[in-house]
Amino acid sequence: MLVHENFQLMWDYRFIYREIIALLRQDEVLHQRYLTVRQRGYEGFHELIRAFTEAGVLIVSQEDGSATRLVDLCWLISEFWLPAVEVRGIDINQDQMQQGVALMMQVLEPYIPKT
């Protein structure tokens, strides 16, 4: 599942998410590259939501800003779920990663057509 793979990738590179602000403040080149890669990923995710909508996998309005808000919510969860768990003093394990996946799916669920 794409969502689970995303969380696994975040786990593999969790050290970056733990220190991202300090790293970006200390290195302007890294900051610019990070923003470029992040923007590309964000746009790719937005395109994925658009493609899923066109294919009927999701039902999301593209005209009223709903798609952009959905992308923003999913992006926030995927980017900051693991750091938010660690800030609370909880060790990251497979259960915590599954909770992040479940949170993401809960956000997406209202947009999945009922069959």
Residue-by-residue pLDDT tens, the chain, 115 positions: 667 777 777 777 777 777 888 999 999 999 999 999 989 989 998 999 999 999 999 999 988 999 999 999 998 998 888 888 888 998 888 888 889 889 999 999 999 998 7
- Domain ranges in the chain? 2-109
12: amino acid identity, one letter: D
61: amino acid identity, one letter: S
Helix (H) or strand (E) holding 71: helix 66-87
- Residue that has been written with the tokens 């939501």 in this structure: 49
CA distance 85 to 38: 22
R_g of the chain, CA atoms, integer Å: 15
- Whole-prediction pTM: 0.76
Read off the tokens for 88: 């609370």
